């Protein structure tokens, strides 16, 4: 819970650019709740917000950087992670967060995602996954389930999706979890764990996109999509993320999947670059 509650201001406004509200997201969009969980997670950790930098790419979730009141960067499509890598390495005191969408991070930015995980750069990546490109009107993306409809898969998707937790875990991420926006408490806690853990931490947030993905797949309104998450999700903490594939129907495994310690890129830098300075 953030601060004292009053009748005039939403407590989360403390961390938001309230002068920019209402935001651009559609009615029922899941990006908003994930941002609310994110700022509550920041509050929970007690991190110094002057030292937090948030970087987003392009798309609906790319707009997150513009609404959170910390140093924030809205960059180009897919390139939030390398931009954040520069920030994190040039000033290791910063807590660098990348908040972006599944298409941005895993398709056009997929190469950067796997390399940042491999390097174990000190960075928290929050991936809002709504299974399609919402901003451009609902095209298939790297996470669209097989058989799902989109404006570019009118007969059903024939393009097998990524299982993102498995992908980043295999690349070496230190922390990997997946929750949905209908699990706000678990999501907030998981984000707080990710924010405070050294190394590359990854939180996948599943959420509704009633305007495009939901409409094209006849999932009903946002509330119906949320109900479907409630019904389909199976909390499976500690499960091997390779088993966490998401189909068009059937169970969705959510939970905190990976939590391990391995030296970060910066740990290696300090040790190995130190050799040059001793000379």
Partner 1 sequence: MMSVDGLMEGEFFMNGDDACAEGAIAAGCRFFAGYPITPATEVAERMSRRLPEVGGVYIQMEDEIASMNAILGASWAGVKSMTSTSGPGFSLMMENLGLGIMLETPCVLVNIQRAGPSTGIPTLIGQGDMMQARWGSHGHYEIIAVVPDSPQEMFDLTITAFNLSEQFRIPVLIMSDEVVGHMSEKVVMRQVAPEDLVTRPRPAVPPEEYSPYLSGDDLVPPMAVAGEGYRFHVTGLTHDERGYPVMTAEAQDKLVRRLVDKIRLNKKHILRMEEVGLDDAEIVVCAYGITSRVAKRAVQLARQEGIRAGLLRLIVVWPFPEERVRELAAQAGAFIVPEINYGQIVLEVERCAAGRARSILLPHMGGGVHHPETILEAIREAAV
Partner 2 sequence: MKLWRKPFDFHEQATAPSKVVLNKDRCKGCEYCVVFCPTKALVMSTEMNAKGYLIPVELPDGKCLGCGLCEAICPDFALWIVPLEAAQKGE
Contact set with partner 1 (CB under 8 A): 17, 20, 49-51, 53, 55, 65-66, 69-76, 79, 81-91, 93-94, 111-112, 115, 269, 272-277, 279
- Nearer of residues 223 and 270 to partner 2, judged by Cβ: 223
Contact partner, 79, from partner 1, partner 2, none, Cβ < 5-8 Å per class: partner 1
Rounded to the nearest whole angstrom, what is the least distance from the CB of residue 57 to partner 2 in the complex? 20
Q: How many whole angstroms separate alpha carbon 170 and alpha carbon 172?
A: 5
Contact partner, 231, from partner 1, partner 2, none, Cβ < 5-8 Å per class: none
- Nearer of residues 63 and 119 to partner 2, judged by Cβ: 63
* Secondary structure of the chain as H, E, C letters: CCCCCCCCCCHHHHHECHHHCCCCCCCCCCHHHHHHHHHHHHHHHCCCHHHEEEEECCCCHHHHHHCECCEEEECCCCCHHHHHHHHHHHCCCCEEEEEEEHHHHHHHCHHHHHHHHHHCCCEEEEEEECCCECCCCCECCCCCCCCCCECCECCCCCCCCCCHHHHHHHHCCCEEEEEECCCHHHHHHHHHHHHHCCCEEEEEEECCCHHHHHHHCCCCCHHHHHHHHHHHEEECCCCCHHHCCCCCCCCEEEEEEEECCCCCHHHHHHHHHHHHHHC
Contact partner, 279, from partner 2, partner 1, none, Cβ < 5-8 Å per class: partner 1
Contact partner, 238, from partner 1, partner 2, none, Cβ < 5-8 Å per class: none
CB 179 within 8 A of CB 205: yes
Rounded to the nearest whole angstrom, what is the least distance from the CB of residue 175 to partner 1 in the complex? 22
Return residues touching partner 2 (CB under 8 A): 1, 4-7, 10-13, 16, 21-23, 25-33, 35-37, 40, 181-182, 184-185, 188, 210, 221-223, 226-227
Rounded to the nearest whole angstrom, what is the least distance from the CB of residue 126 to partner 2 in the complex? 16
- Nearer of residues 10 and 111 to partner 2, judged by Cβ: 10
Contact partner, 140, from partner 2, partner 1, none, Cβ < 5-8 Å per class: none
CB 207 within 8 A of CB 127: no
- Nearer of residues 55 and 181 to partner 1, judged by Cβ: 55
- Nearer of residues 28 and 78 to partner 2, judged by Cβ: 28
Contact partner, 85, from partner 2, partner 1, none, Cβ < 5-8 Å per class: partner 1
- Nearer of residues 101 and 222 to partner 2, judged by Cβ: 222
């Amino acid at each position: 819970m953030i601060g004292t509650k009053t009748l005039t201001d939403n407590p989360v406004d403390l961390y938001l650019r309230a002068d920019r509200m209402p935001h651009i997201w559609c009615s029922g969009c899941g990006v908003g709740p994930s941002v609310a969980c994110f700022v509550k997670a920041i509050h929970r950790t007690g991190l110094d917000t002057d030292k937090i930098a948030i970087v987003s790419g392009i798309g609906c979730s790319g707009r997150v950087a513009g609404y959170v009141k910390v140093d924030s960067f809205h960059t180009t499509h897919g390139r939030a992670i390398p931009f954040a890598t520069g920030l994190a390495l040039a000033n290791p005191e910063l807590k660098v967060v990348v908040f972006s969408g599944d298409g941005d991070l895993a398709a056009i930015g997929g190469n950067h995602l796997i390399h940042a995980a491999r390097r174990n750069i000190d960075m928290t990546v929050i991936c809002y996954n709504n299974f399609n490109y919402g901003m451009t009107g609902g095209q298939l993306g790297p996470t669209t389930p097989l058989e799902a409809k989109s404006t570019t898969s009118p007969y059903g998707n024939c393009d097998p999706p990524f299982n993102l937790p498995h992908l980043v875990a295999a690349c070496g991420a230190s922390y990997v979890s997946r929750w949905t926006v209908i699990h706000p408490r678990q999501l907030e806690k998981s984000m707080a764990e990710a924010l405070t853990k050294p190394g590359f931490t990854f939180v996948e947030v599943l959420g509704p996109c009633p305007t495009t993905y939901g409409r094209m797949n006849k999932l009903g309104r946002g509330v119906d999509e949320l109900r479907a998450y409630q019904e389909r999700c199976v909390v499976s903490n500690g499960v091997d993320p390779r088993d966490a594939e998401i189909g068009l129907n059937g169970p969705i495994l959510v939970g905190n999947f990976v939590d391990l310690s391995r030296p970060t890129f910066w740990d290696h830098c300090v040790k190995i670059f130190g050799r040059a300075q001793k000379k």
